[in-house]
Amino acid sequence: MPRLLSHWRLPAIALLLALAGCTPPQLPFARLAGLITNRQLDEISGLAASHVHEDVLWAHNDSGNPARLYAISRRGRLLARFDVAGVKNTDWEDIASFTLGGKHYLLLADTGDNGGRRRDVLLHVLEEPAVLRNGTLKPAWTIHARWPDGPRDCEAAAVDATLGQVLLISKKRVPPELFSLPLANPHGRIVEARRIGRLSDVPQVGAELKQRDPKLAALFSQVTAADISPDRSTLAVLTYGSVLFYHRADGEDWAGAVARTPESHDVPPIPQAEALAWSAGGAGLYASGEFYPAPIFYIVPQQ
């Protein structure tokens, strides 16, 4: 997504530098874990935890940037970068990590559509590299998908490998729509996303912000990222204003989980929050945003 919050830049930088220079606050919900200061990562729109390398996160930039993945430490240090061969970063908006058939993969969601013009979207699946050294990756397979009834902007993708599903959440529809795609696509055909539900009780902006900053208020409840916990018990959803946890009961599908009221918290101080990833162990999440320098917050659900 294009930068929207440039008027936040100077005060936000001052805040981040102040936080980085002191002990992380002992908050009940979120604490500052790191700060990304490498200028190659100045428009982060997706995060995923590595299942191969301990304490490593995968990140990517938004549209207008190279088709490139970055491995970073959880404190924000750049470790390696990988060009993705044969694909274009039309509008990469999210990334998910998962394990299938004993192999560890990353799914890149090229699903952004600010202008509402894309008839089809692409999701590239890559095997995680065993060595963190600058190089090139090739997709193991690509899911070529189409919305059932016209274009949508989508910035949130999650993978449930047990069900063989990719979950996609629309950004600008109210309430946000939940779609499903098959994770495997052996014939390379165009598959149609299936709407399976709508997200319940996404917090909306208050009257005060609507009056003070209508443009920012219009963005408050828009969904920008999602991820499924490693134990498959929770779908975490990020908006510009909130972090939501939709808890799934045993035997329940994701449509049922998102139909109930989520556990909800305010977003930590992340300008243009657009990236969210469960840690590999599932104890909490990492969150960041499309900004430079980009903070990394560690978030722990309360339930």
For the record, the structure tokens of 292 come out as 């430079």
Q: Which range among 72-81, 88-97, 163-172, 185-194 shows the weakest confidence by mean pLDDT?
A: 185-194
Contacts of 222 (CB under 8 A, 6+ apart): 171, 172, 239, 240
Mean pLDDT across the stretch 115-127? Answer: 93
Query: Residue 44 pLDDT more than 90?
Result: yes
Mean pLDDT across the stretch 208-235? Answer: 90
The H or E element containing residue 296 is strand 294-299
Query: Residue 8 pLDDT more than 60?
Result: no
Mean pLDDT across the stretch 269-289? Answer: 95
Residues of the chain with pLDDT > 70, as a percent, come to: 90
Q: Are strands 78-84 and 165-170 parallel, antiparallel or unpaired?
A: unpaired
- 161: closest CA among 111, 229, 109, 258? 229
Average pLDDT score, the chain: 90
Higher pLDDT, 239 or 18: 239
Task: Say which residue the tokens 């990562």 belong to.
Answer: 41
Residue 167 pairs with which residues in a beta bridge?
158, 180
- 245 confidence band (pLDDT: 50, 70, 90): very high
pLDDT digits (tens, 9 = 90+) for 50-63: 999 999 999 999 99
- 19 confidence band (pLDDT: 50, 70, 90): very low
Peptide bond connecting 176 to the previous residue in cis, omega within 30 degrees of 0: no
Burial class of residue 293 in the structure, from the number of CB atoms within 10 Å of its CB (0-12 exposed, 13-18 middle, 19+ buried) = middle
Q: What is the pLDDT of residue 1?
A: 58
> pTM of this prediction?
0.90
Q: What is the pLDDT of residue 303?
A: 63
The single-letter code of the amino acid at 112 is G
Q: How many CB atoms are located within 10 Å of the residue 150 CB?
A: 8
Query: Residue 301 pLDDT more than 50?
Result: yes
Which domains are present in the chain?
43-198+272-297 (2.110.10)
Report the distance separating Cα 294 and Cα 289, nearest Å. Answer: 6
Higher pLDDT, 9 or 89: 89
Query: Residue 37 pLDDT more than 60?
Result: yes
Q: What is the pLDDT of residue 188?
A: 78
Task: Say which residue the tokens 């930088």 belong to.
Answer: 13
Higher pLDDT, 303 or 127: 127
